[in-house]
Structure 1
Amino acid sequence: MVDKQSGMETAAISVLKRAVELDSAQRFDEAVTCYQEGLQLLMEVLKSTSDVNKKTKFRDKMKQYMDRAEELKVHVAQEKDNAKFHEQIHIAANSTGHTYQHFFGRCLDEKLTEIEVEDPYIRSTHQIYNFLRFCELVVKSNTKVEWIKLTTGRDDTVNGHNSQTARLSELATSLRRHNIELSVEFSNTLHDREIRFNNGWVVKIGRGLDIYKATEGKFVVGFCDFELRHCHETTVDIFYSKPGSNPHPS
């Protein structure tokens, strides 16, 4: 029990430290998410400790973090109302701690029903797995997504297109069981990498979804947990503007 409490306390401190770093870097929307996650962990620690001094210390810290998180939420909401929200995240080469949840979590709210993914490189096995991970994040979220449209490049290697279409077709069948329709279009002229959400969010990643480096083996840290996976250098731009029309495909 002591070890579990100690581990949770360490995790809370780590997440809140990350929140402060993001806050300092003016990555406010990400900071709010980290503050909330850290506060939830700290609340669990507070419930399980009997040390009066610790309880007082944790309550004081929680109030500070809660106040700051509320300030940032108001700030972000104002920027969104003014259609001026833009956050840029630089991912350094070989850095870790970057997940799709960090980039896309804020975009997955109850207003979201449709997503358009433009990425020319959803072709090879690991690239399709990346798209699958993105779809899994959508399925797990508290959204009402009914439709995902993927526009990507055609794999013209020997038997490449057959494998590509078979895998995407299998994914489409799986998503249908979760009441999400996947449509796929192929374009040989597509260069931009952009994901558009019909609740107003747009995320542009220099490398698209393919931000992770391969691990040195299948039984090494980072193979399963992508938060521990080393990344390629790239830039993520996150925009918000008031939703306009986003017609459903015919």
Structure 2
Amino acid sequence: MSSKSGTLTGVEESAVKILKRAIELEGAANYQPALVCYQEGIDLLLDVLKGCKDASKRKHFREKVEEYMTRAEQVKDAVQKLKESGKYHEQMKIEENSTGFGYSKVFGPYVDEYITEVHVEDAYIRSFHQINNFVRFCEMLIMRCKNVTNIHLTTTEDSNANQQKDGLHSIAQSLLPYGITLRVEYSTTLHDREITFSNGWIIKIGRGLDYFKKADKFSIGFHEMDLRKCHATTIDVFHKKHTRDR
């Protein structure tokens, strides 16, 4: 997309960047993240359109909005057909030392107000930093899933079981004021790492929630996970009409 004058404003540049990313994601069959990018890009174009006084430019931007809305609708249709057939599957790869993969970015396209329960199977919610990762995941759920009431965690027991159980108990207590109950189950045979949302999305991450590299206490990326370097891992996303009940 290009401006009729040849010079892009800051908002237009952002729209172009996001919409290019949407097209790339669509081409890679990462449809749900593509839809998020299309919506963000279209919203930015609408902002540009509102502030545009030139008639020819307004026409140009209206055409672009219509073009990307059509593409987004086509992606929605493709997603719906795959979901109905039970064949939805997309895969994302996080490269070694890459950044920009905080939990909101990774899980954001799949979480919404329709989620009431979340099931987390991750054998490694045991050490201090892994429990801290789980806190950040729960914070993301609070911010993005206003109707979630139950979180189920299945993990393995750490050698320092008291520290692990104290940490998870603290998380459970801090979730109660938000109307969320955390239930923890310990398994001796758990190997899979899978997160199931009650809206039908199932996300499998090779390294579970622990795909971030260690960041020094007073370094960039210690608090903002989008800025922290990652270990290489693969994310597989599936969808089922009816998720399991436990």
Aligned equivalents of 1:238 and 1:79: distance in 2? 12
Deviation at 1:142? Answer: 4.1
**Alpha-carbon contact 2:126-2:158 (below 8 Å) kept:** yes
Deviation at 1:81? Answer: 1.0
What RMSD, in angstroms, separates the aligned Cα atoms of the two structures? 2.2
- Tell me the secondary structure at the aligned position of residue 177 of structure 1: helix
1:120 and 2:119 matched: no
Instruction: Give the alignment partner of residue 63 of structure 1, picking from 41, 54, 66.
Output: 66
How do 1:63-212 residues align onto structure 2 when only pairs under 5 Å count? 63-156=66-159, 160-212=160-212
Amino acid at match of 2:188: N
May I ask how many residue pairs the two structures share in their alignment?
239
Amino acid at match of 2:218: K
The verdict on how the C-alpha distance between 1:57 and 1:81 changes in structure 2, with shifts beyond 3 A counting, is: same
Deviation at 1:245? Answer: 4.7
* % identical aligned pairs: 47
**Alpha-carbon contact 1:92-1:234 (below 8 Å) kept:** yes
Amino acid at match of 1:80: K
What does residue 42 of structure 1 align with?
Answer: 45
Amino acid at match of 1:29: Q
Q: Which deviates more, 74-83 or 95-104?
A: 95-104
Amino acid at match of 2:22: A
TM-score normalised per structure 1:
0.86
**Alpha-carbon contact 2:32-2:110 (below 8 Å) kept:** no
- Cα deviation 1:125-178 (Å, max 9, x = unaligned): 22122211211121122442211011112221xxx3322222211211111111
**Alpha-carbon contact 1:30-1:102 (below 8 Å) kept:** no
Q: Which deviates more, 37-46 or 193-202?
A: 37-46
- Cα deviation 1:53-101 (Å, max 9, x = unaligned): 5433332222221110110001101111111111111111122232323
Structure 1 consecutive aligned stretches of length 4 or more whose deviation exceeds 6 Å? none
Structure 1 spans left out of the alignment, 5+ residues? none
**Alpha-carbon contact 2:204-2:237 (below 8 Å) kept:** yes
The verdict on how the C-alpha distance between 1:65 and 1:196 changes in structure 2, with shifts beyond 3 A counting, is: same
